[in-house]
Amino acid sequence: MISYNPKEWLSFIFYFHKGDTFRKLFWIMILIALYSGGIAYLELVYWNLSANSLVKNITIMHNMLGFVISLLLVFRTNTAYDRWWEGRKLWGALVNNSRNLAIKLSVMLKDKEDKDFFRKIIPAYASVLNLHLKMESISHELFDDKTLSQDHYKHKPNQIAKTMIQRVNELYEEGKITGDQLIVLNAEIQSFTDICGACERIKNTPIPYSYSAFIKKFIFTYVLTLPFGYVFQLGYYVIPVVVFIFYVLASLELIAEEIEDPFGNDPNDLPTQKISENIQKNVEELIY
């Protein structure tokens, strides 16, 4: 995720980062400009159509459809942002739950070996969940005698949650924690799995294909028909106007595409790696 000062307007206007929509749409904008120029030449020079021809009436359609497409894009971007913000709230909950679990364990446990175990494994859950959501390989070692690379464990966050539950149950059987403490700790660890499942729901359930495809087709159809009517009012100035309209509409769709999956490596995705590192710092401060 890009860190920035929202009050620095000039940096927004003149700086183009690698995820900027202008870079992604540059060559399509060039093609749209050539297309618009070709339509302008055909209507004004080759066919020598007048402003009173029936073609000019197509602007009426654009006036009506412009309102419709704006509503669709507003709904699209709001839906995508809701997914992005829900992901941020889930990782905020993971931070708080990790802290709460660490606080309770630091008070309940007396054995240094037990404390060291949870001091490592609690931050490991956030780190592995980060890689799991990004669909990256997870093979680093948790402990000297246990790794996350076993073939029979396909879901690595579940493996860590199971290991924590197993260790807490062993502490209860050994008499190191009471039954009431066992219930409290189990609830905290269960919340980790709940957060993981909610993040996977966002990750694995994109916007319906037909809806996303319809918006893209709508944008292209709308933009490609713009030169036919407005060329009589704007002349060859229709070229930059059509290109700019396409840039605005297509950029909104690209932004929505990027933020609807907030767990990747795109510039506007959530900083889950940094959050994982903060969880590790917090847990190491609490359990000692």
Per-residue pLDDT of the chain (288 residues; tens, 9 = 90+): 666 556 666 666 666 555 578 888 899 999 999 999 998 988 888 777 765 555 666 777 788 888 889 888 989 999 999 999 999 999 999 999 999 999 999 999 999 999 999 999 999 999 999 999 998 877 655 544 554 555 556 788 999 999 999 999 999 999 999 999 999 999 999 999 999 999 999 999 888 888 888 999 999 999 998 888 888 888 899 999 999 999 999 999 998 988 999 998 888 889 999 999 999 999 999 998
Pairwise CA distance, residues 138 & 161, whole Å = 15
**What are the tokens at 51?**
């402003």
The number of beta carbons lying within 10 Å of the beta carbon of residue 253 is 20
Indicate the burial class of 251 (C-beta count within 10 angstroms; 0-12, 13-18, 19 or more).
middle
Measured distance CA(236)–CA(33) in Å, rounded:
10
Q: Determine the pLDDT at residue 10.
A: 63
Q: What is the predicted pLDDT for the residue at 161?
A: 93
**Angle of the 209-234 helix axis to the 21-41 helix axis, nearest 10:** 50
Residue with tokens 């929509």: 21
What distance lies between CA 51 and its chain's CA centroid?
A: 47
